[in-house]
Amino acid sequence: MSMLQVKDLSIHFGGVKAVQNVSFNIDAGIVYSVIGPNGAGKTTLFNLITGVYKPTTGEIRLDGEAIHGKSPNELATRGVARTFQNLQICMNMTAVENVMVGAHLRLDRNLVKAALRFPGLKRRDAETRAEAAELMCFVGLEKYVEARADAMSYGALKRLEIARALAMKPRLIFLDEPAAGLNPKETIEVDHLVRKIADSGVTVVLVEHDMKMVMNLSDRILVLDYGKKLAEGSGEEVRKNPDVIAAYLGAHA
Ligand SMILES: Nc1ncnc2c1ncn2[C@@H]1O[C@H](COP(=O)(O)OP(=O)(O)OP(=O)(O)O)[C@@H](O)[C@H]1O
């Protein structure tokens, strides 16, 4: 059984059919990318699967269990994490504290239990901080552990968001345009980081406009156009698909 199963998913905002009857499956362990022109419904699809929006119709299953309508927090405790297209970093906190927020989101549900089980919250905080610092090393931000978020470059903040999502210890991570606004060198670094995340056993779902990165990383690609599924397949299949060439790649690649 596929890890994630999406069936006939739709959401309408008034008259706008942002996602229309989209179905696809994602197997565990792969990098799955969602591409399409601006406004195609990619971020809306992420918002549906990660619990930000409730679908108008359709179903979403994680390991066979229905998850549509569950909140982002509930999904975080089930191993679903995400980053945002627009940075969602607390600028008045240090970098490592931002990553710790991710761990707290995962633990929140059992906060009372955890507090009783542990001799003191402080010890857990020390552990969480150490784990967060380790994750910052994993994403290549070791020199920023004690830095204030507002002193970091945009490229570093993008990776900080990824570290925060990883602090939720996800099995499935949604990365919304991780390379947007980055220079070519930073883009290659993020490309390597996404590969490293996948190699660590986390299933990755990627929305990205950088076609080189998408083609390089993806095991499978879903193409959306005007909220509908236009094509799905390997990079090679998608690249050769005449509908995709007409709607998207022809204009962009
Ligand atoms: N909350 C909302 N209310 C109303 N319309 C919305 C809402 N969210 C998205 N839409 C509309 O749904 C459509 C899909 O938008 P979405 O942001 O998902 O596209 P996208 O493929 O992620 O685009 P981009 O590549 O520019 O990020 C657009 O027409 C958008 O205006």
Is 171 part of a structural domain of the chain? Answer: no
Probe target for ligand 1 pocket from 9, 10, 12, 13, with the most ligand atoms within 8 Å of CB = 13
Record the tokens describing residue 167, joined without a space: 């602090």
CB-based contact 7:23 (threshold 8 Å): yes
Tell me what pLDDT residue 115 has.
47
Cα–ligand 1 centroid distance for 39 (angstroms): 5
Tell me what pLDDT residue 103 has.
82
Nearest to 77 by CA among 110, 49, 53, 99: 110
Is residue 148 helix, strand or coil?
strand
Is 223 part of a structural domain of the chain? Answer: yes
Type of residue found at 85: Q
Type of residue found at 93: M
* Ligand 1 atom index nearest CA of 44: 18
pLDDT tens digit sequence for 211-222 = 999 999 999 999
Task: List the residue whose alpha carbon is closest to atom 7 of ligand 1.
Answer: 13
Is residue 140 helix, strand or coil?
coil
Tell me what pLDDT residue 111 has.
46
Is 39 part of a structural domain of the chain? Answer: yes
Is 226 part of a structural domain of the chain? Answer: yes
Q: What is the CATH number of the domain that holds 10?
A: 3.40.50.300
Tell me what pLDDT residue 85 has.
78
Q: Answer yes or no: is the C-beta of 149 below 6 A from any ligand 1 atom.
A: no
Residues whose CB is less than 8 angstroms from the CB of residue 132 and which lie 6 or more positions away in sequence, other chains included: 96, 97, 99, 100, 102, 103, 163, 167
Is 139 part of a structural domain of the chain? Answer: no
Instruction: Specify the number of domains making up the chain.
Output: 1
Is 142 part of a structural domain of the chain? Answer: no
Tell me what pLDDT residue 227 has.
95
Is 70 part of a structural domain of the chain? Answer: yes
- ipTM field: 0.94
Q: What is the pTM of this model?
A: 0.90
Alpha carbon distance 98, 147 (integer Å): 11
**Alpha carbon of 82 to those of 52, 76, 174, 226, 242: distances in Å?**
11, 9, 4, 23, 32
Expressed as residue numbers, the domain containing 240 is 1-79+207-253
Task: List the residue whose alpha carbon is closest to atom 1 of ligand 1.
Answer: 13
Q: Answer yes or no: is the C-beta of 22 below 6 A from any ligand 1 atom.
A: no
Q: Answer yes or no: is the C-beta of 20 below 6 A from any ligand 1 atom.
A: no
Cα–ligand 1 centroid distance for 43 (angstroms): 7
Residues of the chain where predicted confidence (pLDDT) is lower than 50: 110-115, 117-118, 120, 253
Is 132 part of a structural domain of the chain? Answer: no
CB-based contact 232:243 (threshold 8 Å): no
